[in-house]
Copies of this chain bind each other. A is one copy, B any other.
Amino acid sequence: MAMLSIGALAAQTGVKIPTIRYYESIGLLPEAPRTESNRRLYDGAVAKRLRFIRHARDLGFEVEAIRQLLAMADDPARSCHEADALAQAHLADIESKISRLEALRDEVRHMVACCGQGQVRTCHVIEVLADHAHCLHETH
């Protein structure tokens, strides 16, 4: 199993070098063994763990959630109830974000559509932002 330098690991996973060191510092990655000259070395297992972290971050999981997921992944005999609950909570969060963003999009779309390219005096962008009453939705 070939050992990777931090740069190679970064290239392989798409995670920046300082971010890898940061993950180590907060305990998401184990302390890497070092060469004689103090450089970090990584094996395939760490690369996999890092991809796990990266993917979960991309999906919007917070580091604390990832920490829990990793603890679960490290213990495959455990019930995955917790992982499921975590994902469920996350799903609810995503759905609420989507609907808030949709309301927001409609509003900004409305602002843009109404902008007559005139003066600020008649510009809806300013108007809508200055007065909540112009909103299409009451969701925020």
Contacts and interface: CB of A to CB of B under 8 A. Distances in A.
Contacts of A126: 69, 72-73, 80, 83
Given A94-B104, A101-B101, A80 B129 contact: no
B87 A125 contact: yes
Interface residues of A, number: 54
B73 A130 contact: yes
Interface stretch (A3-11, A18-26, A107-115): A107-115
Nearest to A77: B119
A76 interface: yes
A117 B80 contact: yes
14 contacts: A56-B129, A73-B130, A77-B119, A78-B119, A79-B117, A79-B118, A80-B122, A83-B120, A84-B123, A87-B112, A91-B105, A91-B108, A94-B105, A97-B101
